[in-house]
């Protein structure tokens, strides 16, 4: 004989936040009290799961979870708190949430032969890809398949975060830089007048002077510094509670993995590595690897 225990009762969840208002592509914060038998909890938004953090409050049963309504969803998404116990029982609680719809910019980019001849072989060599016999096909593979692989790598690098906020105040926007694109632009790529690809640009392109110093947006820990496919030389910082920032297309990297940075500390220089047509900074804010609108984090309100 073998003694066993049978648990058919899911954990308890008590919402502590009431109405949540979030724009498509934006972030909100949920607070809830969970029973002590909970082993995993967070907010589920369609296919996306955002883990909760405990231990921030004196009451260890209170969990907090930043959650996003990512730009590829709609205002019909329904965020829900989910809590699981060791037996796999789940409790689902709908979050009162008003999601404001949003229309993202649409842009058409013409890809020239000079750009293809310069960038496709460079990216193939830097990322160990087979050389394409056709530069247009090689570009489409890089722009689509390599991009997807890079995003999967980013989610992996951002899967675990410091369980407390490292930031202090509003996030810093790159100094003296003009925005060349906005968050979640819907881009159509053409060659000789024909559409060859469509992708979503997940971040801001910020440009000032060539080889400008790149500044950390907030206090954080370097979780990655090196080549990152379409982003070229890149740095990723962990700011705690699932919030990360990404700096791409750098010409030089001046920090190492594990290094602690302060707000506005220089971490490298702008450049045109990766899939960049000119010297600029690609900047992203991410929640556990899911790109969200940086404007909400730059805004001191």
Torsion (CA) 110, 246, 272, 173 in degrees, nearest 10 = 90
Residue 207's pLDDT is 96
Residue 148's pLDDT band (boundaries 50, 70, 90)? very high
- Mean pLDDT of the region 225-251: 98
- Strand, helix or coil for residue 115: helix
Residue 36's pLDDT band (boundaries 50, 70, 90)? very high
Which residues have C-beta within 8 Å of that of residue 2, sequence separation ≥ 6? none
Q: What is the pLDDT of residues 54-93, one digit of tens each?
A: 999 999 999 999 999 999 999 999 999 999 999 999 999 9
Q: In the 8-state DSSP scheme, what is residue 280?
A: B
Task: Please tell me the distance from the alpha carbon of residue 73 to that of residue 98, in angstroms, as a whole number.
Answer: 14
Q: Which pTM does this prediction carry?
A: 0.95
Residue 283's pLDDT is 98
For the chain, the maximum distance between any two Cα atoms, rounded to a whole number of angstroms, is 76
Residue 147's pLDDT is 97
Residue 173's pLDDT is 97
- Mean pLDDT of the region 219-228: 98
Residue 290's pLDDT is 98
**254 contacts 268 by C-beta, under 8 angstroms:** yes
Residue 142's pLDDT is 97
Q: Locate tokens 């993995």: which residue?
A: 257
Q: In the 8-state DSSP scheme, what is residue 153?
A: H
In whole numbers, what is the pLDDT of the chain averaged over residues?
96
Please give the helix or strand (H or E) that residue 263 lies within, else none: none
Residue 164's pLDDT band (boundaries 50, 70, 90)? very high
**Which stretches within the chain are classed as H helix?**
113-126, 135-141, 147-157, 295-298
Task: Please tell me the distance from the alpha carbon of residue 220 to that of residue 258, in angstroms, as a whole number.
Answer: 10
Q: What is the pLDDT of residues 149-162, one digit of tens each?
A: 999 999 999 999 99
**84 contacts 41 by C-beta, under 8 angstroms:** yes
**Which stretches within 70-181 are classed as H helix?**
113-126, 135-141, 147-157
Residue 190's pLDDT band (boundaries 50, 70, 90)? very high
């Amino acid at each position: 004989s073998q003694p066993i225990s049978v648990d058919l009762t899911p954990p308890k969840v008590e919402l502590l936040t009431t109405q949540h208002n979030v724009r498509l592509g934006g972030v909100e914060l949920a607070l809830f009290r969970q029973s002590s038998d909970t082993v995993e909890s967070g907010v589920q938004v369609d296919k996306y799961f955002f883990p909760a953090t405990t231990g921030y409050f004196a009451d260890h049963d209170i969990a907090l979870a930043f959650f996003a309504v990512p730009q590829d969803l709609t205002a019909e998404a329904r965020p829900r708190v989910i809590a699981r116990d060791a037996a796999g029982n789940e409790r689902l609680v709908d979050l009162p949430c008003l999601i404001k719809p949003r229309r993202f910019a649409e842009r058409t980019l013409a890809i020239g032969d000079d750009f293809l001849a310069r960038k496709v072989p460079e990216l193939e060599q830097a990322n160990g890809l087979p050389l394409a016999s056709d530069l247009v096909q090689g570009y489409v593979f890089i722009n689509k398949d390599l991009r997807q692989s890079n995003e999967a790598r980013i989610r992996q690098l951002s899967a675990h975060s410091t369980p407390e906020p490292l930031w202090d105040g509003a996030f810093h926007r790159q100094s003296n830089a003009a925005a060349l694109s906005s968050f979640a632009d819907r881009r159509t790529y053409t060659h000789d007048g024909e559409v060859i690809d469509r992708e979503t640009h997940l971040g801001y392109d910020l440009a000032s002077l060539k080889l400008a110093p790149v500044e950390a947006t907030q206090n954080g820990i370097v979780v990655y510094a090196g080549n990152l496919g379409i982003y070229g030389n890149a740095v990723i910082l962990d700011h705690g509670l699932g919030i990360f920032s990404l700096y791409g297309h750098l010409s030089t990297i001046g920090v190492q993995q594990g290094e602690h940075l302060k707000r506005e500390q220089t971490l490298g220089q702008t450049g045109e590595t990766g899939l960049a047509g000119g010297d600029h900074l690609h900047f992203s804010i991410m929640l556990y690897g899911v790109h969200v609108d940086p404007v909400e984090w730059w805004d001191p309100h």
